[in-house]
Amino acid sequence: MAISYKDLGFVNTREMFKKAIEGKYAVPAYNFNNMEQIQAIVTACGKSNSPVIMQVSSGARKYANPILLRYMGQGAVQMARDAGYNIPIALHLDHGDTFELCVQCIESGFSSVMIDGSHHDYEKNIELTSKVVEYAHKYDVTVEGELGVLSGIEDDVVAAKSIYTQPDQVEDFVKKTGVDSLAISIGTSHGAYKFKPEQCTKNAEGVLVPPPLRFDILEEIEKRIPGFPIVLHGASSVVPSYVDIINNNGGKLKAAVGIPASELRKAAKSAVCKINIDSDGRLVMTAMVRKVFMEKPDEFDPRKYLGPARDELVKMMIDKNQNVLGSAGNA
Ligand code: G3H
Ligand code: 13P
Ligand code: ZN
């Protein structure tokens, strides 16, 4: 039997985005697929009084089991209430690729879904996205669409080359599909290797600095659809200090480069009102687990390495909410 997200205590993204645009900040969308990540999201967003979108990819659903994942999401709402955190929480499908997957998620209690038709041609993207919107809106579930292609390789999200969003298409796409928010491509990409070293310059500390995001395209898009909620995927910063911890403790991450926090701060002040962060969490957890294993080779209690990973994740997320997205204090 179908379950409504409203009965589980989630909210859709409509009000969140309206407030984010007015308040000139972005709502964090953190991916999760295990308990420690959920604990970190609730704790960090609760402590920093930030609205939050907890999102799961189809890869995460396969990894954790869709039923368990839904109950974990529900558990997050209860955990937040029990801790006295009065923050809005949305449960969102990240990169949904079929109508059927979106339906399954809506029926199991998701308050928001993304239908990523960006790999299809324009007309097919409109057709697929409209179909999802028509279904989702019957249940007051919000829908994110995407125009333009981000490069990067992950479990189920693969593209070799990015294609920037064409501002000329956005108004037509939004009008024809009825989507509630739009993910765009302006130079971000998925994963920890967002830029090739040869695309970057080196700063005084020897850190690779990537080319700037295409804020000119973002401005053009904002002119075409003023006040419409824009989403930035592939927005991890790939924080060099965590990459260093990984590499100093047996890891081999070479030339990993992300989006500088200053660029995200600038984007968050614009119509960008949802910023997706997954890789930064993966890097934090890997860094702490590697550190514990190197420092305490006799340790074999998962709580002793996943615990520090979770605690560092909380710190990273609080920093994002306070200093990068500006969502802290806006629950
Ligand atoms: O954008 C994709 C997310 O980072 C999810 O990645 O498909 O490996 O779970 P995943
Ligand atoms: P990152 O790989 O930059 O964290 O992006 C995550 C994302 O866009 C999830 O949809
Ligand atoms: Zn993404």
State both tokens at 27: 């709502």
- Provide the percentage of residues in the chain whose pLDDT is more than 70: 97
DSSP 206: S
Domains of the chain, earliest start first: 5-243+259-280+316-324 (3.20.20.70)
Interior angle at CA 29, CA 115 and CA 77, nearest 5:
105
Give the confidence band of 112 by pLDDT, cuts at 50, 70, 90: very high
- The per-residue pLDDT for 154 is 44
* pLDDT per position as a tens digit, 170-227: 999 999 999 999 999 999 999 999 988 888 898 888 888 899 999 999 999 999 999 9
Helix, coil or strand: residue 208: strand
How many angstroms does the Cα of residue 244 sit away from the middle of ligand 3? 25
280, containing H or E segment: helix 279-295
- The per-residue pLDDT for 156 is 53
* pLDDT per position as a tens digit, 29-84: 999 999 999 999 999 999 999 999 999 999 999 999 999 998 999 999 999 999 99
Atom 9, ligand 2: which residue's CA is nearest? 276
Q: How many residues does the chain have?
A: 331
Residue environment code for 203-214, b if the CB has 16+ CB neighbours within 10 A, otherwise e: eeeeebebeebb
- The per-residue pLDDT for 195 is 87
| Residues sharing a CB contact under 8 Å with residue 202, sequence separation 6 or more, in sequence order | 208, 209
- The per-residue pLDDT for 306 is 98
Q: Is residue 278 within 6 Å of ligand 2 at its C-beta?
A: yes
* pLDDT per position as a tens digit, 250-283: 999 988 899 999 999 999 999 999 999 999 999 9
The question of whether 94 is a catalytic residue gets the answer: yes
- The per-residue pLDDT for 198 is 85
202 vs 212: CA distance, rounded Å: 14
Q: Is residue 31 within 6 Å of ligand 2 at its C-beta?
A: yes
pTM: 0.96
- The per-residue pLDDT for 160 is 57
- The per-residue pLDDT for 152 is 63
| Residues sharing a CB contact under 8 Å with residue 151, sequence separation 6 or more, in sequence order | 159, 160, 161, 162, 189, 190
- The per-residue pLDDT for 155 is 45
- The per-residue pLDDT for 130 is 98
Is residue 111 predicted with pLDDT exceeding 80? yes
State both tokens at 155: 């479990």
Q: How far is CA 170 from the centre of its chain?
A: 21
State both tokens at 304: 């002793």
Q: Is residue 274 within 6 Å of ligand 2 at its C-beta?
A: no
212 vs 74: CA distance, rounded Å: 38
Atom 5, ligand 2: which residue's CA is nearest? 234
Question: Would you give the end-to-end CA distance of the chain in angstroms?
Answer: 32
Is residue 159 predicted with pLDDT exceeding 70? no
Atom 5, ligand 1: which residue's CA is nearest? 57
- Provide the percentage of residues in the chain whose pLDDT is more than 90: 88
Q: Are 102 and 96 in contact (CB under 8 A)?
A: yes
